[in-house]
Amino acid sequence: MRAVSVNGDAIVVTSLLWQTTATAIRAGEEAMLIDSPYFPDELELLPTVLAQAGFSVNALLATHGDFDHVLGPLAFPELSLGVAESTMLRLRAHPGEAQRTLRDADAEHYVRRPRPLALGGVQSLPVPGRLGLGGEELELHSADGHVSDGMAVFAPWLGVLACGDYLSGVEIPMIGPGGSVAEYRATLARLAPVVERAETVVPGHGTPASREVALRLLDEDGDYLDALERGEERPRLPAGRDDGRQRAIHRENLAAVGGGGRRG
């Protein structure tokens, strides 16, 4: 796990698995953790790392319901997890999905956990909307298309945007269950003006990016979606994202959008 301070009041922690990010945002005496690292030792260490930096976390958010983003309660079991309404609907429609997928990933990586994931106190948040934090206000923007649910979280007073599984320098757009190219494009279009206002964009996987880099990723992702919709089997993938794993994701995307361009 790597912890990088992107601003005196924002720390990005990156997991060793899939470069999954967790972003801590501070305002006044309050701090909020968005998403989560994966490994048990990372989750165990997280409260100490953040406390040493003067962040006393009193709220958790998840950008979307994929299991690798909802592990915050394993680090802060006393806190409830705030999610977009769309994520709440997904969690209700597929109870136990996050726990099952986590168990499968753990089995694949031979990971043992001191306790199973419990998503006890999940709170549904209106998106688009605003959320108070220590006298400031976070903006919540809807971000679906990768999957059926999701939100991007923008801290305007810090210029930090945590956008979930979009605008990654290490992963091409992934059309997962319930996602679609049309919704993915709509999310990119919605994020563009927010990125313009941001100093730092934190993707769900990868490295925090400057506004300029994030805008370039946004263009590259649009171009990739064009190639995906044309059904290209071997499209040119963006620099830094052209490897075997990304090719495999592309094949999964082709299968997902096959024909109708939508996967239910």
In a 3-state reduction of DSSP, which class is residue 87? Answer: helix
Q: Using CB atoms within 10 A of its CB, is residue 216 exposed (0-12), middle (13-18) or buried (19+)?
A: middle
Nearest distance from residue 244's CB to Zn ion, in Å?
Answer: 19
Nearest distance from residue 69's CB to Zn ion, in Å?
Answer: 6
Of the pair 9, 165, the CB lying nearest Zn ion is at 165
Of the pair 68, 149, the CB lying nearest Zn ion is at 68
Nearest distance from residue 182's CB to Zn ion, in Å?
Answer: 21
Of the pair 15, 180, the CB lying nearest Zn ion is at 15
Query: In this structure, which amino acid lies at residue 145?
Result: G
For residue 45, the surrounding DSSP H or E stretch is helix 40-52
Question: Which residues is 59 bridged to in the sheet?
Answer: 32
- Cα 172 to Cα 166, 175, 177, 199: the distances in Å are 8, 10, 16, 22
Nearest distance from residue 95's CB to Zn ion, in Å?
Answer: 20
Binding site for Zn ion (CB under 5 A): 66, 68, 165, 204
What are the structure tokens assigned to 190, written together? 């919605």
Query: In this structure, which amino acid lies at residue 85?
Result: E
**Which residues are CB-neighbours of 262 under 8 A, at least 6 positions away?**
180, 181, 182
- Cα 28 to Cα 12, 47, 52, 56, 57: the distances in Å are 18, 18, 16, 10, 12
Largest CA distance in the chain: 52
Nearest distance from residue 70's CB to Zn ion, in Å?
Answer: 10
Nearest distance from residue 78's CB to Zn ion, in Å?
Answer: 25
Of the pair 9, 66, the CB lying nearest Zn ion is at 66
Of the pair 66, 136, the CB lying nearest Zn ion is at 66
Nearest distance from residue 239's CB to Zn ion, in Å?
Answer: 21
Where are the strands (E) in 70-113, listed by range? 81-84
Of the pair 26, 86, the CB lying nearest Zn ion is at 86
Of the pair 70, 75, the CB lying nearest Zn ion is at 70
d(Cα 125, Cα 59) in Å, to the nearest integer? 13
